[in-house]
Amino acid sequence: MSERILLSPPHMSGNERKYIDYAFDSNWVAPLGPNVDSFEKEMADYIGVSDATAVSSGTAGIHLALELLEVKKDDLVFCSSLTFIASANPILYLKAQPVFIDSEPETWNMSPTALRKALEDAEKNNKLPKAIIVVNLYGQSADMNEILTICEQYNVPIIEDAAESLGAEYYGKKSGSFGTIGIFSFNGNKIITTSGGGMMVSNDSYYMEKAKFLATQARDKAIHYQHSHVGYNYRLSNILAGVGRAQLEVLDSRIERRREIFNKYKGELTQINGIKFMPEPKDYYSTRWLTTLTLNPQLVRKNYMELIDLLNKENVEARPIWKPLHEQPLFKDNLYYPHSTDSFSNKVFDTGICLPSGSSLTNEQQDKVIDIIKTALT
């Protein structure tokens, strides 16, 4: 059998060993160290914010961000529904209540229309959310200008979950720089990786200093081990930060390659009636972390699950779009606000597919994927 074509595998630059060796040679192999300090500064400079805090995962970053915004038991936290569960699980860590917001067709990200309706209802009930987690899906920013305007009207802070959108831009500004706190992930499938890890970014130095404090077991300033607050073991290893530094050096080329892959898919497959790709509005710049499309079941010969199964039989990894969180059994009793009378998130989940999109994907591998899809659908 031919080698499996993966959805989004890690892609090493070759320069990672330099930073890893530096960690070993200096004996900074424990959490924290010079690579962590440099990685934080380099990330902050790249995103265009004043400060950053390296953490063990994007999920840990969201958890800390909710702590920083003083989310407590029974508080409301609004969250995008069309996303991976890691966006919302930290809400449950704090025993708060998630309320899910639909996506819009223009960006596939949080619908300003649904968000406004949810905030209007929350104000009538005299219980506004303590925070809103806006997810930037599949490498593309949400409509942050509109969302910021709405949130400022109600004085609710934004946690920008940019785990999937490192390097994306919205009207010339980097994804992750719009919220009170931005969160990135360096999981193995992301556009750059540290194997596992994440980064919090902000222009608020108080939040970043407190995040560092909470992420290192909340140790008070004393020669002995003294603790006045609950803390967490959430800081990033100095070795893994070295991997991240080398990966960050090639981020822009990785984005360029993923956009090339998307453009080839689009150029080859849009001729098939019934296929639509995730849109990229004017003044947006998507990394195309994953190439995603929908299949109109009335116009194509196979539905999305049949196509995924067929690709898998040919040793090609493909996945459905994220199952909306409001449809997950864990959140069956939580409120959900659709974009219109029909839920856009449900529609995308019922028709959507993610194609192999890694920056190491060869032209021959992509040609194979395209040929399978053309044969199946035409």
Instruction: Tell me what pLDDT residue 31 has.
Output: 80
3-class state of residue 309 by DSSP = helix
229 and 318 share a domain? Answer: no
Instruction: Tell me what pLDDT residue 50 has.
Output: 98
At 143, give phi and psi (nearest 5°): -75, 80
213 and 303 share a domain? Answer: no
Q: Is residue 352 part of a domain?
A: yes
pLDDT < 70 regions, the chain: 1
Angle CA(164)–CA(169)–CA(174) in degrees, nearest 5?
85
125 and 240 share a domain? Answer: yes
CA dist 80 → 109, 134, 204 (Å): 7, 6, 24
Instruction: Tell me what pLDDT residue 30 has.
Output: 81
Nearest residue to 176 (alpha-carbon basis) of 149, 211, 215, 141? 141
Instruction: Tell me what pLDDT residue 222 has.
Output: 86
178 and 218 share a domain? Answer: yes
Show the domain range for 323: 252-377
Query: Which residues belong to the active site?
Result: 190
DSSP element (H, E) containing 131 = strand 131-135
Contact 135, 142 (CB under 8 A): yes
295 and 244 share a domain? Answer: no
Q: What is the pLDDT of residues 276-319, one digit of tens each?
A: 999 999 999 999 999 999 999 999 989 999 999 999 999 999 99
193 and 296 share a domain? Answer: no
Q: Is residue 71 part of a domain?
A: yes
Burial (CB count within 10 angstroms: exposed 0-12, middle 13-18, buried 19+), residue 375: exposed
Compute and round to an integer the Cα radius of gyration of the chain. 21
């608020």: which residue's tokens?
A: 204
* Boundary-marking domain end, from 251, 270, 303: 251
59 and 119 share a domain? Answer: yes
201 and 268 share a domain? Answer: no
The amino acid present at 155, given as its one-letter code, is N
Distance between CA 306 and CA 301 in Å, rounded? Answer: 10
Query: The CATH number of the domain where 181 resides is what?
Result: 3.40.640.10
* Boundary-marking domain end, from 226, 251, 276: 251
Report how many domains make up the chain. Answer: 2
* Boundary-marking domain end, from 251, 282, 299: 251
Q: Is residue 247 part of a domain?
A: yes
283 and 320 share a domain? Answer: yes
Instruction: Tell me what pLDDT residue 285 has.
Output: 98
308 and 272 share a domain? Answer: yes
């785990």: which residue's tokens?
A: 163
Helix axes 16-25, 238-249, angle to 10 degrees: 150
Instruction: Tell me what pLDDT residue 1 has.
Output: 56
Q: What is the pLDDT of residues 2-56, one digit of tens each?
A: 799 999 999 999 999 999 999 999 999 888 899 999 999 999 999 999 999 999 9
């050096």: which residue's tokens?
A: 249
